[in-house]
Amino acid sequence: MNRTTPAKRTTIYDLAELAGTSASAVSAVLNGNWKKRRISAKLAERITKLAEEQGYAVNMQASVLRRERSKIIGMIVPKYDNRYFGSIVEQFEVRARERGLFPIITCTMRDPELEVEAARTMLSYQVDCLIATGATDPDRIADLCAGAGVRTINLDLPGARAPSVISDNYGGALELTRRVLANCRREYGVKAPLFFVGGRGTDHNTMERVRGFRDAHAEAGIAVDEAMIQACGYAPEKAENAMRQLAARTSTLPRGLFVNSTISLEGVMRWIRYSGHYSDGMPHLGCFDWDPFVAMLGDHIEMARQDVPKMLEAVFGIIDSGAGDFSVVEVPPIIGGVD
């Protein structure tokens, strides 16, 4: 409010001059270590008041440049278009701030190039630590960070060169498949394989989910044909397409579907609505991921809700403890039906 020079910002030197003291005193007062410097309470008071009046704000770039640690923590994340990543990011910010860290986030749009580009940029901004969420090549990022002496933690998708926190994809998929299989048997009396759709066949999570999917079928004594597993990618159109192709090549559609994300589910549901198939009754669905509106879509959907609070607790546990081993923490998802 009292600013006379809107162009030039107030510095600690300006404040020092106004207070009739030195820059180092101002600096000490303003970041709380005036106790160890034993600065007089009145001087501290005066400086604080002045800073307030002048609308002073530290220049973090200068501060970070000088300090040893930046207290900036970075996260890269694939997308913001679903509840899973949305809550990861929200929780990340909250917990980072709780610890006095400044969170910076970059969304990579699932683009592997952008992923490492983003990691590099974060290193340029001197992050103390980088969380690689759902990275396609986490080890590449881990190497980059190692080179700069920066800690990395993998989230959602594991890597071999940094600690990882992921969902128990196998266990979740196993249980989810069991339930959908049971639902199919109960309602339709059928004992046939489900159709697995969505995800990237090359990523660890999808592979583990397929394994759970297979084992649940094996338990039930149901054979699963290779063609019943289509890890076609995450995009809705790809899932929709996979459904279309399935319908084209088979006479009787499966009574149950395992959908590998809410994003893929968008495409599957659209196809179900508009293709005219399944007009004789909705198939039973299992979705690996949670969304409140999906929960309201009907009583034929089971979801595996990844436990984001626990996952972030684990991530920050690793950060706080400074643990150095590259182990993988697996957090069980919460499996349930409507709501």
Q: Which residues bind its own copies (CB under 8 A)?
A: 1, 3, 6-7, 9, 55, 57-62, 64-65, 70, 79-83, 85-87, 89-90, 93-94, 102-107, 109, 120-121, 123-126, 143-144, 146-149, 236, 262, 265-266, 269-270, 273, 291-294, 296-297, 339
Buried/exposed code over 88-123 (b: 16+ C-beta within 10 A; e: otherwise): bbebbbebbeeeebbbbbbbbebeeebbbebbeebb
Query: Letter for the amino acid at 40?
Result: S
- CA 311/CA 301 separation, integer angstroms: 24
Which residue in the block uniquely carries the two structure tokens 């580009």?
117
234 binds, among DNA, its own copies, none (CB under 5 to 8 A by kind): none
Nearer to its own copies among residue 7 and residue 248 (C-beta): 7
Which residues contact DNA (rule: CB under 7 A)?
Answer: 8-9, 11-13, 20-25, 27-28, 30-31, 33, 37-40, 43, 58-59, 62-63, 65-68
Nearest to 50 by CA among 83, 84, 2: 2
In sequence order, the β-bridge partners of residue 304 are: 288, 335
CB 209 within 8 A of CB 172: yes
**CA angle (171 as vertex; 327, 204 as ends), nearest 5:** 55
- CA 86/CA 6 separation, integer angstroms: 37
Nearer to its own copies among residue 207 and residue 297 (C-beta): 297
Shortest CB 225 distance to DNA, Å: 57
Shortest CB 27 distance to DNA, Å: 3
Shortest CB 51 distance to DNA, Å: 10
25 binds, among its own copies, DNA, none (CB under 5 to 8 A by kind): DNA
Nearer to DNA among residue 23 and residue 297 (C-beta): 23
CB 96 within 8 A of CB 102: yes
Nearer to DNA among residue 74 and residue 163 (C-beta): 74
327 binds, among DNA, its own copies, none (CB under 5 to 8 A by kind): none
Nearer to DNA among residue 65 and residue 109 (C-beta): 65
297 binds, among its own copies, DNA, none (CB under 5 to 8 A by kind): its own copies
Shortest CB 103 distance to DNA, Å: 19
- CA 200/CA 207 separation, integer angstroms: 8
Nearer to its own copies among residue 192 and residue 304 (C-beta): 304
CB 19 within 8 A of CB 28: no
In sequence order, the β-bridge partners of residue 328 are: 164
- The Cβ-side half-sphere exposure at 73, using a 13 Å CA radius, reads 23
Shortest CB 65 distance to its own copies, Å: 4
